[in-house]
A and B are shown apart, each in its own frame.
Chain A
Amino acid sequence: MNSATTLQQLLHGSLSERATAAEHLAQQGSEAAYAACELTAACGDAGAISDWAVAALEQLGPPPLSALESLVSLTHSEDPLTVYWAVTLLGRAGPDAAVHEQVLVTLLQHSKDLAVQEKAAWSLGRMQANSLGATQALQQASQSPEARLSRVAAKSLQQTQT
């Protein structure tokens, strides 16, 4: 299955075709990075498709720069798993994604999902986001009663100060 066919199936195929495409991508490791956005969106798909999409994303590594805008759009998804992975991939992009830090600041401050908040804090550190807004959001999060959020935010603050 070539990459174009894989993407076509993942986006428009039947249930089983989408699952097959997601599984195929999960077997490709970082070579599946071209499908970063499609896989992130597939996290909101039905059971096995979502499972394979998550498996693919875990091993994907950083997304291509061309995917960043679309990933930012996906941070507005109603599916929390999609948002989680969009935030994660933006973080993996590192400083190249820093221009998009505001969306992560917003999620850190306002998401109702703790896992998304934690990933947003993590991603801001990876981006070395040192704007006033990011710093203030991380400082606030570092005071959170949630142990992991507090710890991740504090570490990200250190990373953004270096």
Chain B
Amino acid sequence: MARKKSKFSLLMWLIFSGISGGGVTGYLKPNIPIIGPLIAKFTDKGQNLTSGSGNLLTESANGLLGTPSSGSYGGSAVAGRLASARQPSNGQQQGAIQPTTAAGSQGNGNLLIASFNIQVLGQSKISKPGMKELLAHVIRQFDLVAIQEVRAKADNVIPDLVTTVNSNGSRYNFVIGPRLGRSNSKEQYTYVFNTNTVEHDPSSVGTVNDPKDLLHREPFVTRFRARTQSPAQAFTFWMVNIHTDPDEVPEEVDALADVFQVMQKARADEDDVILLGDLNASEKQLGRLGKLPGMQWTVSGVTTNTRKNKAYDNIMFQGQATREYTGRWGVYDLERNLGLSREQALQVSDHLPVWAEFRVWEAPPATSPVGRPSLYN
């Protein structure tokens, strides 16, 4: 079995550096094990559907979901999303949600960003009756979802899933990374995002280069911007998607500390880095990553797996830089929100989505002068 890793030529690396504006400086320090991201090959982007079947269920799905005419689908997508996101999970909810109107983005002007390890997301999973529709419903609860554990030999799985997401008129798209892993068993990372509320920067995308092979599945990074009527003031951010090797967690979270710091410097005009995924580490096991100055993680004190005995999924960022975070976060309980049994929920995944809310407007620098009007007091 030959180990294959995604390697790109020096030429491609230089091309990426030029396109992204990240430049070379900061990427070649010998004491940083992780050099800056390289561009990766992407599959075709998803296509919108203009119509979908009226009933997304089949009988064999046992009524896992409501019909499209139910309150959770129709009317305001924001209301539906907030209703779902508002569901308390293990007592973590951060107070009442007050929907507001806001210029630009969805109802309350905020983005919901999620991470979801969908266990063995491949052809066999999405072929199960009702499964695509159920996953589509979950994805629609969020503006942007970082997904781990795409395990598919063919390239149709995510496009098919996004087509289902869009079957109700939604306009989601996706970007997917290469197949990664040291053994013959490979995984991909993907981001699925609502193009009505989130814009993707196709010039800032890639898989973190890892010449010392510190990480089993190197993070897939890319940049997004909240879609607003004032792009210059919109929240922009890097997303760093990760699924660590459960046998090498201490080493990998240490390496992720370096990844995070490299990403903080990847663009002089970008201070927001959101690292998220299945870390296979609880908040007490974050090692050097958790000890980076000002490092903050959203999920705390609750479990994030379907069996409710582990807390391995999280969303992390530097609190002073990413003051766009509103403080609202949650774990999307598949059983409670979708009326599933434990067994049914486990068929979806052994992990639950975790999410965090961010404002759509870029926060002024923490050192902004006193007296400047700010949304971030």
Our pick among B123, B149, B185, B310 for the contact of A50 (Cβ within 8 Å) is B185
Chain B CB within 8 A of A103 CB? no
Residues in B neighbouring A115, C-beta threshold 8 A: 1, 3, 182-183
Per-position binary interface string of chain B over residues 202-243, scored 1 when its CB falls under 8 Å from any chain A CB and 0 otherwise: 000000000111100000000000000000000000000000
A92 and B247 alpha carbons, distance in the complex (Å)? 8
> With a CB–CB cut-off of 8 A, which chain A residues contact B185?
43, 50-51, 54, 81
A81-B185, A115-B183, A122-B247 given as contacts; is B122 within 8 A of A51 (CB)?
yes
Q: How many chain A residues touch B (Cβ–Cβ < 8 Å)?
A: 30
- A48 and B184 alpha carbons, distance in the complex (Å): 13
Residues of B close to A148: CB separation below 8 A: 212-214
Residues of B within 8 A of A91 (CB): 247
Given contacts A59-B350, A80-B183, A115-B182, whether A52 and B120 have CB atoms under 8 Å apart is yes
Contacting residue for A29 out of B151, B213, B307, CB 8 A:
B307
For A148, give the chain B residue with the smallest CB separation: B213
Query: Does B122 lie within 8 Å of A27, measured CB to CB?
Result: no
Q: 1/0 contact trace for A21-56 toward B, CB 8 Å?
A: 001001101000000000000010001101110110
A101 at the interface (CB under 8 A from B): no
Chain B contacts for A118, CB-based, 8 A: 182
Q: Mark B244-279, 1 if CB is under 8 A from A, else 0.
A: 001110000000000000000000000000000000
Q: A116 in the interface, Cβ–Cβ < 8 Å?
A: yes
A99 adjacent to chain B (CB < 8 Å): no
Distance to closest chain A CB from B221 (angstroms): 21
Write the chain B residue with the least CB distance to A83: B1
Most buried by B among A58, A114, A116, A151: A58
Q: Are B120 and A26 neighbours in the complex by a CB distance under 8 Å?
A: yes
A29 and B350 within 8 A (CB): yes
CA A27 – CA B120 in complex, angstroms?
11
A54 and B3 CA atoms in complex are apart in Å by: 16
Contact partners of B153 in chain A: CB under 8 A: 47
Pick the contact of A147: B1, B182, B184, B212 (CB < 8 A): B212
> B321 interface residue, CB < 8 Å from A?
no
Q: Contacts A48-B124, A92-B247, A115-B183 hold; do A26 and B1 have CB atoms under 8 A apart?
A: no
Within 8 A of A (CB), among B281-306: 305-306
**Shortest distance in angstroms between A107's beta carbon and chain B's nearest beta carbon?**
13
CA distance A55 to B148 in the complex (A): 12
Alpha-carbon separation in the docked complex, A94 to B122 (Å): 33
A113 and B182 alpha carbons, distance in the complex (Å): 10
CB atoms of B120 and A81 under 8 A apart: no
B77 at the interface (CB under 8 A from A): no
Tell whether A19 is near chain B: CB-to-CB under 8 Å: yes
Please, which residues of chain B bring their CB within 8 A of the CB of A47?
153
* Contact flags A63-99 to B (C-beta < 8 A → 1, else 0): 0000000000000000011001000100110000000
Contacts of A55 in B (CB 8 A): 119-120, 149, 151
Report A122 CB to chain B, min CB distance, Å.
7
Q: Which residues of B contact A151 (CB under 8 A)?
A: 212
Chain A residues with CB under 8 Å of B1's CB are: 80-81, 84, 113, 115-116
CB distance from A119 to the nearest CB of B (A): 9
Q: Does B346 contact A (CB under 8 A)?
A: yes
Q: A84 CA to B3 CA in the complex, in Å?
A: 12
Q: Is the CB of B246 within 8 A of A58?
A: yes
Interface string of A108-147 (1 = CB under 8 A from B): 0000011110100010000000000000000000000001
Q: Mark B139-153, 1 if CB is under 8 A from A, else 0.
A: 000000000010101
CB atoms of A27 and B346 under 8 A apart: yes
The listed residue (B3, B122, B183, B214) touching A48 by CB distance below 8 A is: B122
Please report the C-alpha to C-alpha distance between residue A110 and residue B39 in the assembled complex, in whole angstroms.
35
Residues of B within 8 Å of A59, CB to CB, are 246, 350
Q: Write the nearest CB–CB distance from B179 to chain A, whole angstroms.
A: 12
A19's contact among B2, B124, B212, by CB below 8 Å, is which?
B124
Q: Once the chains bind, are A113 and B3 in contact (CB under 8 Å)?
A: yes
Write the chain B residue with the least CB distance to A50: B185
Measured in the bound complex, the distance between the Cα atoms of B246 and A19 in whole Å is: 23
- B1-27 vs A: 1/0 string, CB under 8 Å? 111000000000000000000000000
- Least distance between A79 CB and chain B CB atoms (Å): 8
Most buried by A among B149, B211, B310, B346: B346
Q: Nearest chain-A residue to B346 (Cβ)?
A: A27
CB distance from A71 to the nearest CB of B (A): 15
Q: Which chain B residues have a beta carbon within 8 Å of chain A's beta carbons?
A: 1-3, 119-120, 122-124, 149, 151, 153, 182-185, 211-214, 246-248, 305-307, 309-310, 346-347, 350
Which 8 pairs from chain A and chain B are nearest by CB? Answer: A80-B1, A148-B213, A27-B346, A48-B124, A115-B182, A54-B185, A147-B212, A113-B1
> 9 A-B contacts, Cβ less than 8 Å apart?
A23-B120, A27-B306, A27-B346, A43-B185, A88-B247, A114-B2, A114-B182, A118-B182, A122-B248
